[in-house]
Amino acid sequence: MKELIEHHKKAAKHHEEAAKHHYEAAAHHEAGYPEKAHESTIRAHGHHRLASEAQEEILKYHALNTKT
Q: How many domains does the chain have?
A: 1
Residue 68 has pLDDT above 70, yes or no: no
CB 56 within 8 A of CB 64: no
Chain-centroid distance, C-alpha 65 = 24
Instruction: Report the chain's C-alpha Rg in angstroms.
Output: 16
Range of the domain at 56: 2-65
Q: Which helix (H) or strand (E) holds 40?
A: helix 34-65
In this prediction, residue 52 carries a pLDDT of 98
Which tens digits make up the pLDDT trace of 15-43? 999 999 999 999 999 999 999 999 999 99
Angle, vertex CA 39, rays to CA 34 and CA 44, nearest 5: 120
In this prediction, residue 4 carries a pLDDT of 95
Which tens digits make up the pLDDT trace of 40-65? 999 999 999 999 999 999 999 999 98
d(CA 51, CA 15): 6
* pTM across the whole model: 0.87
